[in-house]
Amino acid sequence: MRPSFRVIDTGVRDARMNIAFDQALIDARKQDFIPDTIRFLKFPPCALVGVHQILNHEVRLQYCRDRNIQIGRRITGGGGLYLDEGQIGWELVFDRATLGISDLTELTRRICEAAALGLRNLGVDAQYRPRNDIEVDGRKISGTGGFFDGSTLFYQGTLLIDFDPADMIAALKVPVEKLAKRDLDSARQRVVTLRELLGDDLPDVPAIKQALLDGFADALEITPVPGEITDTEETLAREIYDEEIGTDDYVAMIDAREADDTLVTASLTKRGGTLRADIRLEGHDRNRIREVLITGDFFVTPPRVVFDLEARLRGVETAQAPETVIAFFEETTADFVNLEPEDFRDVIAAAVRQLIIPVEGGKTLRGHMIGTQSKNAPTLVFLHEALGCARMWRDIPHRLAKATGLPALVYDRLGAGDSDPLEPPFHRGYILEEALEVLPSVLDAARIDQAILVGHSDGAAMALTFAGAHPDRVRGIVAEAPHIYREDKTLAEINRQIHDFRNGDLKARLERFHGSKTERLFQRLVEAWTVDGAGSWGIESYVAKVKCPVLLLQGKDDEFFSEDQLDGIEELLSDPCQRVVVPHCGHAPHHQNRRAVLDSASQFIRNIMSSDTASDTSVALHRDQHPMRPHT
């Protein structure tokens, strides 16, 4: 006999009250006050962050307050959401034993496939896409997430019926690497609504809900039964709202730490989401953890596991932190969606090992070493773009390090990410200055004698400049979107960025990564690139001295630079280089076509290593065949 699920509809409610009702459902089901339940709900315009996210990194707070857009914190993981009455929410709350599945990843797949089946009943070719989305032809129509609380599973999703992505972009700080330069157009390409798919054939909301129920019934083999909201649920929801979820303290409970010399941080991007660790150190040698904050858009169940881990790490010596994380998870019952305990260990270990790099002028840069350095192998060194930082590479450094077997250094250039802020006045010679004065100090501090430089945009220009000035320290260069001068299209695109920074949401999205340093970082770009006479950076003479292998990468539709840049660089280089133009990509192919970039770069680097090995072998054979003998 199929298990029955009560079906209730709570309609439109205050955002925080909706979330409080979520918790009430869980508590009531755990105590057997209610049966297994499916709930439908709606939200007024609101911006909601995941339970483990940093509020001011995700939401444009003043914009929302000025427009009476409600702000709340969910009890589930995942990323920031914008919701309004053009979407419906659906939720399942049931005992672990009901479906006979205890693995969160498997339940996620089953529930998402059931919801997708329901949408297919409406004539929409919806499919589940791991880790937790439902898509139509690669465009997201529903996002989901959930967790176990004891033996009770809470799982929720939203369905886009009639939705304008402009509202989402305005309210949330959408990560800059997620969208191309035309934010609104790109967002509309990433999501799709039932209105767009079905047009005049769009059914009414009751029919849509029934289609979802039919999908749940068929795929999960359950029987949905209409039911009533109980007084117990309403009373619990009001208490939870008043005591916790409805309070401003709960919504703002996770905020960004102010950087100082006691704070270390690291981020790790995996298939299951991004994890970030901010650790405050104490002790004479900064060798003991005072407090830890673990944030991100990941899913772990129950959510309190993260808070328990943070508490467990307080007072632990940094050298013992990684094994403490593993010991904690060995003693704790936790479920993950596409994550492992080792991922939490790795982000903690990376944070406590954060490199503090002093440079000229009393400034400090911060970075991370991936893997273990060897005297016999070069180190990959990543140089980000003008408005970038180490975190904006996401998992590219880890993937390239793994593919090549080489260690990698990723660091925030001055004014970016976790490094010290820029100080005015600014000038257009910063590319030369960073390549010739700062980068040598970085390599010395990280004890890197031989490097393979991986640079993007400004970082690519710096890589070429440094390699020309120090040919003995560079074994190869991967130059993505490199440039040696400013073009008319460059200036036009920067002027569009200036408008977006002042009138749009570019500033808000950059503040997720650079915080209070954002204004100065952007002002340096403006002053260096838009002044009269900013046509050239004076790096051509250095590029002409490059002796190592070079891979030039550029997006076919790069909005800042044309392929004339590649032509100019090739003319300057004394030896032939490799050139790859990636189709359907703009200025950041490593985000827009990751696979093409990773494949090209890893093969290029492996060829360098193979060539070096062959050369060493040839020399060794030559010496064996013609041994040096004393004269007789």
Give mean pLDDT, residues 391-405. 94
Tokens 């050239």 locate to: 536
pLDDT, tens digit, 9 for 90 and up, residues 300-336: 888 889 999 999 999 999 999 999 999 999 999 888 8
75 burial type by CB count under 10 A (0-12 exposed, 13-18 middle, 19+ buried): buried
Neighbours of 128 (CB within 10 A): 21
In a domain, 221, yes or no: yes
**CATH code, 301:** 3.30.390.50
| pLDDT value, residue 623 | 40
Assess whether 149 and 275 both reside in one domain.
no
Residues 374, 335, single domain; the answer is no
> Residue 630 is which amino acid?
P
Taking 70 as the threshold, does the pLDDT of residue 149 lie above it? yes
Nearest to 379 by CA among 437, 433, 454, 435: 454
| Count of residues in the chain | 632
Question: What distance in Å separates the CA atoms of residue 512 and residue 297, rounded to the nearest whole number?
Answer: 14
Domain tally, the chain: 3
Residues 380 and 334 in one domain: no
Task: Give the tens place of pLDDT for each residue, 172-229.
Answer: 887 655 443 334 455 567 789 999 999 999 999 999 999 999 999 999 999 999 999 9
CATH number of the CATH domain containing 209: 3.30.930.10
Residue 574 CA to chain centroid, in angstroms?
39
d(CA 214, CA 211): 5
d(CA 445, CA 392) in angstroms, rounded, equals 23
Reduce the secondary structure of 263-286 to three states and give it as a string: EEEEEEEECCEEEEEEEEEECCCC
Average pLDDT, the chain: 90
- Please name the amino acid found at residue 80: G
pLDDT band at residue 2 using 50, 70 and 90 as cut-offs? very high
Please write the tens of the pLDDT for every residue from 97-123. 999 988 888 999 999 999 999 999 999
Q: Which two tokens stand for residue 225?
A: 């039964």
Structure-model confidence comparison of residues 357 and 257, the more confident one: 357
Tokens found for residue 471: 């040919």
Residues 237, 322: one domain?
no
Look up the pTM and report it. Answer: 0.78
Q: How confident is the model at residue 365 (pLDDT cuts 50, 70, 90)?
A: very high
- Confidence (pLDDT) at 172: 87
Same domain, 382 and 435: yes
Residues 426 and 292 in one domain: no
- DSSP SS3 for 541: helix
Q: State the residue range of the domain holding 553.
A: 361-617
**Which residue among 320, 350, 380 closes a domain?**
350
Q: With CA atoms as reference, report the closest residue to 186 among 157, 217, 165, 206.
A: 165
CA distance linking residue 512 with residue 191, whole number of Å: 22
